[in-house]
């Protein structure tokens, strides 16, 4: 926790964002928040099965990064992926219907919460094996360099995955070959129930690239504009052919690791403290009002829009039929 607070120091004093930008970030972050709240509700109703990892609290990370990315850049992440998909522009309906395991889902009900993809939106998943997406994302960056297509892959992983060996195997190759990739550690302080200090000999995760000559930066992951600025620098560096950057986003997840988290590893007060003082959406909201970009009524209007989208997605996710039994044996091999 102390680490998160320290990152707070320069908050919102840095680069400014325009009115339209801030309104956009507010809307997109709110969409993720309301979507996830509804997903939690549907899970409680038994409409979503298996594992369900909510992104609530971390919204500024993906929205800030998305604001920095260019058309054609790719995203890959782990299993806490609903926010990333919405940030990439994937439809709330398709994501929610995948959560409920319906034919209208992005993977037609065959992937679930942790495994969704959109070729169209350059979203490469959604991976359930901790750390796998780092090697895969490095491969996507390899393909970018191979094809000289000027695209950069943004590979997200958590503080838990930061202790997986393949992350460092990937760092080594990416730096050696100057691959166009940006590594984002979303440090939400807990790998399931294990606090960073209990799992990592070096808790400043942005330093984890040092022995591979990968520059690292600690970023306030609760400040969307700070994220965007750090992302812009890292993306430009990658695009220029100078190789990967490691950005450590200091963030926090409000909900449990998954829906079945007993939450014995942290106090209620700790969570409330972050919610009260560091919430990324409240932060933008305050900025909008302070700068005179919007009043309470205008923001409520956005809120109503978002609720309508989320309600419609929940409706769609329940109405969409379960996949046909014939789907069982499709998509195993191409052309088979």
Partner 1 sequence: MSLQILMPALSPTMEEGNLAKWLVKEGDAIAPGQIIAEIETDKATMEVEAVDEGVIEALLVPEGAQGVKVNTPIAELRNDDTASPSPLRGGSAAEPPGRGADVTSADSPPVAKTDPSPARPPPPTPSPQGGGGLSADPEIPAGTQMVKITVRDALRDAMAEEMRRDRDVFVIGEEVAQYQGAYKVTRGLLEEFGSDRVVDTPITEHGFAGLGAGAAMAGLKPVVEFMTFNFAMQAIDHIINSSAKTLYMSGGQITNPIVFRGPNGAASRVAAQHSQDYSSWYAHVPGLIVIAPYDAADAKGLLKAAIRNPNPVVFLEHEMLYGTEFEIPDVPDWIVPIGKAKVRRVGRDVTITAHARMVGFALKAAELLAADGIDAEVIDLRTLRPLDTATVIESVKKTSRLVTAEEGWGRMGVGAEICAAVVAEAFDYLDAPPTRVHQIDSPLAYAANLEKLAMPNETNIVEAVKAVCYRR
Q: Which residues bind partner 1 (CB under 8 A)?
A: 74, 76, 105-111, 115-119, 124-129, 132, 134-144, 146-147, 165-166, 169-170, 172-173, 176, 330-336
Can you read off the two tokens belonging to residue 322?
A: 């379960």
Q: Hey, is 331 helix, strand or coil?
A: coil
At a CB cut-off of 8 Å and minimum separation 6, what does 260 contact? none
**Shortest distance (Å) from residue 222 CB to partner 1:** 30
Q: Are 259 and 196 in contact (CB under 8 A)?
A: no
- As measured in angstroms, the least distance from the Cβ of 46 to partner 1 is 23
Closest to partner 1 by CB, 135 or 189? 135
Which is closer to partner 1, CB of 29 or CB of 85?
Answer: 85
Nearer to partner 1, 9 or 333 (CB): 333
The nearest distance, CB 121 to partner 1, in angstroms, is 11
290: Cβ–Cβ under 8 A, 6 or more apart, which residues?
Answer: none
**Separate counts of helices (H) and strands (E) for the chain:** 12, 8
With residue 87 as reference, give the H or E element that holds it.
helix 82-87
CA angle 313, 117, 88 (to 5 degrees): 65
In angstroms, what is the minimal distance from the CB of 130 to partner 1? 10
Q: Which is nearer to partner 1, 109 or 243 (CB)?
A: 109
Q: How far is the CB of 137 from partner 1 (least distance, A)?
A: 6
Tokens of 203: 């808790």
Neighbouring C-beta atoms of residue 80, cutoff 10 Å: 26
Which CB, 162 or 284, lies closer to partner 1? 162
Structure tokens at 75: 């995203």
Nearest distance from C-beta of residue 150 to partner 1, angstroms = 14
Q: Which is nearer to partner 1, 25 or 79 (CB)?
A: 79
Q: Which is nearer to partner 1, 116 or 247 (CB)?
A: 116
Token digits for 177?
Answer: 């070959």
Look-up: residue for tokens 């039994």? Answer: 325
CB of 244 to partner 1, least distance (A): 13
How far apart CA 37 and CA 44 sit, in angstroms, is: 11
**Under DSSP, is residue 143 helix (H, G, I), strand (E, B) or coil?**
helix
Nearest distance in Å: CB 139, partner 1 = 2
| DSSP string across 24-73 | HHHHHHHHHHHHHHHHHHHHHTTSS-S-----TT-HHHHHHHHHH--TT-
Residue 6: which residues within 8 A CB-CB, separation 6 or more? none
109 or 221: whose CB is closer to partner 1?
A: 109
**Residue 306, SS3?**
helix
Residues 6+ apart with CB under 8 A from 264: 193
């Amino acid at each position: 926790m102390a680490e998160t607070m320290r990152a707070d120091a320069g908050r919102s004093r840095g680069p400014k964002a325009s009115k339209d930008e801030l309104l956009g970030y507010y809307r997109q972050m709110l969409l993720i928040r309301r979507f996830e709240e509804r997903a939690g509700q549907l899970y409680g109703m038994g409409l979503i099965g298996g594992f369900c990892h909510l992104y609530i609290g971390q919204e500024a990370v993906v929205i800030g990064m998305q604001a920095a990315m260019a058309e054609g850049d790719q995203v890959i992440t782990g299993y806490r992926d609903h926010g990333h998909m919405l940030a990439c522009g994937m439809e709330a309906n398709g994501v929610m219907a995948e959560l409920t395991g319906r034919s209208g889902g992005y993977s037609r009900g065959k992937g679930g919460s942790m495994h969704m993809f959109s070729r169209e939106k350059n979203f490469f998943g959604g991976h359930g094996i901790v750390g796998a997406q780092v090697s895969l994302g490095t491969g996507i960056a390899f393909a970018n360099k191979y094809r000289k297509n000027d695209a950069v892959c943004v590979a997200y992983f958590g503080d838990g995955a930061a202790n997986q060996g393949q992350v460092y195997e990937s760092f080594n190759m990416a730096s050696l070959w100057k691959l166009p990739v940006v590594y984002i550690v979303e440090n939400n302080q807990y790998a399931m129930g294990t606090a960073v200090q209990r799992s990592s000999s070096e808790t400043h995760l942005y330093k984890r690239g040092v022995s591979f000559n990968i520059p690292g930066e600690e970023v306030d992951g609760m400040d969307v504009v700070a994220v965007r600025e750090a992302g812009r620098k890292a993306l430009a560096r990658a695009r220029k052919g100078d190789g990967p950057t490691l950005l450590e986003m200091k963030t926090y997840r409000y909900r449990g690791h998954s829906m079945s988290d007993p939450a014995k590893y942290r106090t209620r007060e700790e969570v409330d403290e972050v919610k009260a003082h560091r919430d990324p959406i409240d932060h933008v909201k305050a900025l909008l009002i302070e700068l005179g970009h919007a009043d309470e009524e205008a923001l409520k209007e956005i809120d109503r829009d978002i609720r309508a989208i989320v309600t419609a997605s929940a409706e769609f996710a329940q109405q969409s039929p379960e996949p046909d039994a014939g789907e069982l044996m499709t998509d195993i091999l191409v052309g088979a």
